[in-house]
Amino acid sequence: MHRVKVRVVEDALDANATIARANRDDFERAGVTVVNLMSAPGAGKTTLLERVLADGLGDLRVGVLEGDVQGSLDADRLARLHVPVVQLNTGEGFGGECHLDANMVRSALPALALDDLDLLIVENVGNLVCPAEFRIGEDARIMVSSVAEGDDKPLKYPLMFRACELVVVNKVDLLPHVDFDLPAFLHRLDAVHPGVAHLACSARTGEGVGAVREWLAALPERSRAPR
């Protein structure tokens, strides 16, 4: 049983990598830069996007792909911003619902006018484990960590903190009210992912969100640079 399971998992990850490459080819052809936005449930991904996209992102044409187990609450919130939003529900049944994979994203591409976008932000399912293992063809992964979750999280979910190019520490307005030691968090982050970029903000109050907006606005330019 165990060997069968391991082989199926390896096959699934291989298949995912193949489809992720196909997505990536499509994204490059359309000239769209893609961000995979990940976090635990309730860390503030949607609120951060509301803040970041409220006044647009310079000249960039932005679209959002909303991944949720069920419902369209987040897509409905973002649709008010007048950016194209496509909802993707991961549906019923274990194995298909706890993360977005390359195939789910691929199935949503026909609903997106990729040629009309410069930046596509994919909001993943709230989960600190499985999303880290499934590339979707993205250029960059952003991980949002709320100070309410505690400063031990990099040590407890190291794979997720390694699987990103930017860590956003959110809800800093709560710092006076929670036991969260920011230097200790950053020290632990550096231990599991040395040198990773990080920004601190409060999506609720807007503090620090400008730097997140700038990071995102500069991403298409950075992604086009030779690697």
Nearer to a second copy, 45 or 198 (CB): 45
Contacts of 140 (CB under 8 A, 6+ apart): 33, 34, 35, 36, 165, 166, 219, 223
CB of 10 to a second copy, least distance (A): 9
- String of contacts with a second copy for each residue 9-28, x by CB under 8 A: x-xxx-x-------------
CB of 133 to a second copy, least distance (A): 5
Contacts of 137 (CB under 8 A, 6+ apart): 19, 20, 21, 22, 23, 24, 26, 27, 34, 102, 105
Give the amino acid at 113: A
Q: Which two tokens stand for residue 177?
A: 């009210």
Asked if 54 touches a second copy (CB under 8 A), the answer is no
Asked if 148 touches a second copy (CB under 8 A), the answer is yes
Asked if 97 touches a second copy (CB under 8 A), the answer is yes
- String of contacts with a second copy for each residue 168-197, x by CB under 8 A: ---x-xx--xxx------------------
Nearer to a second copy, 200 or 217 (CB): 200
Q: Which stretch binds a second copy (CB under 8 A): 21-29, 51-59, 109-117, 153-161?
A: 153-161
Question: Rounded CA gap, 45 and 64, in Å?
Answer: 12
Asked if 135 touches a second copy (CB under 8 A), the answer is no
Strands (E), the chain: 33-39, 62-68, 85-89, 119-123, 140-146, 166-170, 197-200
Nearer to a second copy, 137 or 154 (CB): 154
CB of 68 to a second copy, least distance (A): 6
Question: Rounded CA gap, 27 and 171, in Å?
Answer: 32
Q: What is the DSSP letter of 126?
A: S
Among residues 95, 184, 206, 207, the one that binds a second copy under rule CB under 8 A: 95
